[in-house]
Homo-oligomer: A and B are copies of this chain.
Amino acid sequence: MIVTIIGLGLIGGSLAISLKENGFAETIIGVDQEPENVNKAFRRRLIDEEATLEEGIERADLVIIAIPVDSLVKLLPNIMDQVIDQVIIDVGSTKTQIMESIATHPRRGRFVGTHPMAGTEHAGPEAAIPNLFDRKACVLCETEKSDPDALALVEKMYETMEMKLVKMEPLAHDVHTAYVSHISHLSAFALALTVLEKEKNEARIFDLASGGFSSTVRLAKSTPDMWVPIFAQNKDNLLDVLDEHINTLAKFRTCLIKKDFTQIYQLIQKANSIKKILQ
């Protein structure tokens, strides 16, 4: 199996490691518009060969597109134009606009829309790590519109990493990810800004930043190149969640002002039930 990966960042690079390691791919062809990323990918032995976009698509059995979601929406129809019988997947963090971009494409059946839900706050080929996807959830969208053999191949690929496959409509996916992923990032960015604004003395933050702070703002290290396009494509859902989040914070604020610590106690108890869900 020849797998071409377009976009050799954290996700593309980590997929390259896993799919080569577990034997799903015999050959990994890397495509990236940044020559430096291709060089890094070679130095890290993420890819076997490099190719142009056209050549990479032509030679592949399976093409994985792992680029920011704004470029993805623009590039995907062009890629589909070049498809003969290859299978094409995306791994984008939004789904509605991506699925719409090729909804009526004559080769639609060769495409499978996916979102393997794993990542770190780091970016680039140097951030690629083994086992990133192991046993995580992976959303598959509108699978009924994919050719059965294309879908079967993609399911087989994700199963080599023991991913838990979840089928979901694109709109539902975008609502859920606004809640369980996008708002977490927005909140971390805002928290980092709040603290940086106040604590001009960086040494002091460093001194005092205990584990709690680090884990809460860890995501604030994430790159805007990835996240601005996600926020842009999922703007409406994100705004809904953000409004609710601001309202919840305002509820705590009112309780603090009124010294209603009984209600704060109850709110925290309710928040504690997240224990049942998270390990």
Contacts and interface: CB of A to CB of B under 8 A. Distances in A.
A153 interface: no
How many chain A residues sit at the interface, stated as a range, is 35 or more
Nearest to A242: B253
A271 interface: yes
Interface in A162-190: 164, 166, 176-177, 179-181, 183-190
A45 B6 CA distance: 55
B190 A224 contact: no
Interface in A249-276: 249-253, 256-257, 259, 261, 264-265, 267-276
A101 interface: no
Given A193-B248, A272-B221, A214 B164 contact: no
Interface in A228-249: 228, 231-232, 235, 238-239, 241-246, 248-249
A215 B215 contact: yes
B278 A259 contact: no
B241 A194 contact: yes
Nearest to A209: B180
Interface stretch (A21-29, A30-38, A48-56, A196-204): A196-204
A196 B274 contact: yes
Nearest to A248: B190
Contacts of A206: 277-278
Nearest to A269: B224
A190 B255 CA distance: 13
A199 B179 CA distance: 8
A213 B227 CA distance: 15
Contacts of A46: none
A137 interface: yes
Given A204-B176, A272-B224, A190 B252 contact: yes
A265 B228 CA distance: 6
Given A136-B210, A187-B249, A188-B216, 10 more contacts: A137-B210, A176-B204, A177-B208, A179-B205, A180-B210, A192-B271, A215-B216, A222-B268, A224-B268, A228-B268
10 contacts: A117-B208, A179-B194, A179-B198, A186-B249, A187-B187, A197-B244, A212-B219, A223-B272, A224-B265, A231-B261
Listed from nearest, the 3 A-B pairs whose CB atoms lie closest are A224-B268, A184-B216, A192-B271
